[in-house]
């Protein structure tokens, strides 16, 4: 089973904190879409009809800038070139302010069955700071419109640890999100990424990031509020109502195969633990389109993963998410995880940071709070 990812590299305005590849000038959109369809058909020649893809994810950038006709042409191409499961999870990332009821209905009728809104905050001042294009009211209205359009699997993205954010302000945003009854919430701590305007604002001391202790406190508040409101945590930053985990992201965390299309998209293909490769496309629309018009794949770099690297990734990804399935892990890597890491595992279980049940070795809520240091101790 695998996943397909499509990167749509356009945004109306670049957000101050964002380091995803996207551009504000949309003049190249037509050329990009032609190149994307060509890339899909070239890549597909390498894969067999036996390779079944169970999720498709439109990310970016802002995929909701695509017209329904444009989206339809991409979906048709994916379905014609790959074996996509009949009941595949098809997610589209959308920004409030870029869709109306008619567009949402069209997306739904084309088979998109999961929608993910980049809401980020329910405070106008925070949205302004993040340079989001939408208002709080627009976010609420768009979520409600998507229900009218027939979406019954909906994610809201939120951010915490914004500069000057208080516990009270975060709780307000979380509670506003709960009021909209989403099936899924992703809550990410604001990261100051290099090469972003925010990085320079921090460097020039115009913006002060929250101290790490406050970040940890706000994360704890997030976990507590999610639990109180019936959201099950299944990854460090992801929470859902029962049965509504993101299959696409879970595939990434389970080390399943995925193919990415579009500028900056990454792909991963594992035959077995001795044979796995990762590669990624140019982070530049001109280079991407030029390569494809010259009949070559727009790959900028690739790496062959060693068994040791795969093992480390399996541990890291497993601990971040739903845990490590012990029997299959032991079989794949040829040793018993409890024997090899006995002192670590015993210590974390005693400290209530880790648990073992139903053949899964996974972190507890407290464990998620120190996930990185636990993972590092295994490496
Ligand atoms: S809308 Fe999303 S992808 Fe576009 S700039 Fe903002 S955060 Fe980045």
pLDDT tens per residue, range 51-61: 999 999 999 99
In what order do the strands lie in the sheet containing 275-281?
232-235, 238-240, 184-189, 154-160, 114-120, 83-94, 52-60, 2-8, 257-261, 266-272, 275-281, 299-305
| pTM for the model | 0.96
**134 CA to centre of ligand 1 in angstroms:** 12
Choose which residue among 9, 17, 22 to substitute to test ligand 1 binding: the one with the highest number of ligand atoms within 8 A of its C-beta.
22
306: DSSP letter: P
The vertex-279 CA angle with 277 and 280, nearest 5°, equals 165
- Residue 9 in contact with ligand 1 by CB distance below 6 A: no
Ligand 1 binding pocket includes 61 (Cβ within 6 Å): yes
Does residue 46 carry a pLDDT above 90?
A: yes
C-beta of 18 in contact with ligand 1 (< 6 A): yes
CA of 14 to the centre of ligand 1 (A): 6
Cβ of 95 less than 6 Å from ligand 1: yes
Asked if residue 1 has pLDDT above 90, the reply is: no
CATH code: domain 307-379 is 1.10.10
369-375 contacts at long range (C-beta below 8 A, 24 or more positions apart): 369/216, 369/219, 369/220, 369/223, 371/236, 371/319, 371/320, 374/319, 374/348, 375/315, 375/316, 375/319, 375/320
Query: Span 2-251: which CATH code?
Result: 3.20.20.70
Ligand 1, atom 7, residue with closest C-alpha: 18
Q: What digits encode the pLDDT tens for the residues 153-199? A: 999 999 999 999 999 999 999 999 999 999 999 999 999 999 999 99
* Residue 379 pLDDT greater than 90, yes or no: no
User: Which residue has the CA at smallest separation from atom 2 of ligand 1?
Assistant: 61
Ligand 1, atom 8, lies closest to the CA of 18
- Whether residue 303 contacts residue 292, with contact meaning beta carbons closer than 8 Å, is answered with no
pLDDT in tens, 66-77: 999 999 999 999
The proportion of the chain whose per-residue pLDDT surpasses 70, expressed as a percent, equals 100
Tell me, rounded to whole angstroms, the distance of Cα 363 from its chain centroid: 20
Verify whether ligand 1 is closer than 6 Å to residue 22 (CB atom).
Answer: yes
Domain ranges across the chain:
2-251, 307-379
The mean pLDDT value for 119-126 works out to 98
């Amino acid at each position: 089973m695998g996943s397909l990812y499509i990167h749509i590299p356009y945004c109306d305005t670049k957000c101050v904190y964002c380091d995803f590849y996207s551009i504000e000038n949309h003049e190249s959109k037509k050329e990009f879409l032609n190149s994307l369809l060509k890339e899909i058909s070239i890549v597909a020649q390498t894969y067999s009809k036996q390779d079944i893809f169970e999720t498709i994810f439109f990310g970016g950038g802002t995929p909701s800038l695509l017209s329904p006709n444009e989206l339809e042409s991409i979906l048709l191409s994916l379905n014609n070139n790959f074996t996509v499961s009949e009941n595949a999870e098809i997610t589209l990332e959308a920004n409030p302010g870029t869709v109306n009821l008619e567009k949402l209905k069209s997306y739904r009728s084309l088979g998109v069955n999961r929608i993910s809104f980049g809401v980020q905050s329910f405070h106008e001042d925070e949205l302004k700071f993040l340079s989001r294009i939408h208002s709080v009211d627009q976010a609420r209205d768009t979520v409600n419109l998507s229900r009218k359009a027939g979406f019954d699997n909906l994610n809201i993205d939120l951010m915490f640890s914004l500069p000057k954010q208080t516990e009270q302000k975060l709780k307000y945003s979380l509670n506003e999100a709960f009021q909209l009854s989403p099936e899924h919430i992703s809550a990410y701590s604001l990261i100051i990424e290099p090469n972003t305007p925010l990085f320079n604002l921090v460097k020039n001391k115009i913006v002060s990031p929250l101290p790490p202790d406050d970040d940890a406190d706000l994360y704890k508040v997030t976990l507590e509020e999610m639990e109180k409101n019936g959201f099950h945590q299944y990854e460090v930053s992801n929470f859902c109502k029962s049965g509504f985990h993101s299959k696409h992201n879970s595939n990434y965390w389970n080390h399943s195969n995925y193919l990415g299309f579009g500028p900056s998209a990454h792909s991963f293909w594992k035959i077995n633990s001795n044979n796995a490769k990762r590669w990624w496309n140019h982070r530049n629309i001109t280079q991407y389109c030029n390569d494809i018009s010259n009949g070559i794949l727009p790959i900028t770099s690739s790496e062959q993963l060693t068994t040791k690297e795969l093992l480390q990734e399996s541990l890291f990804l497993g601990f971040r998410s739903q845990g490590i399935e012990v029997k299959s892990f032991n079989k794949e890597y040829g040793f018993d995880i409890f024997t090899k890491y006995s002192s670590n595992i015993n210590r974390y279980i005693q400290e209530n940071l880790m648990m073992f049940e139903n053949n899964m070795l996974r972190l507890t809520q407290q464990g998620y709070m120190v996930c990185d240091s636990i993972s590092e101790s295994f490496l």
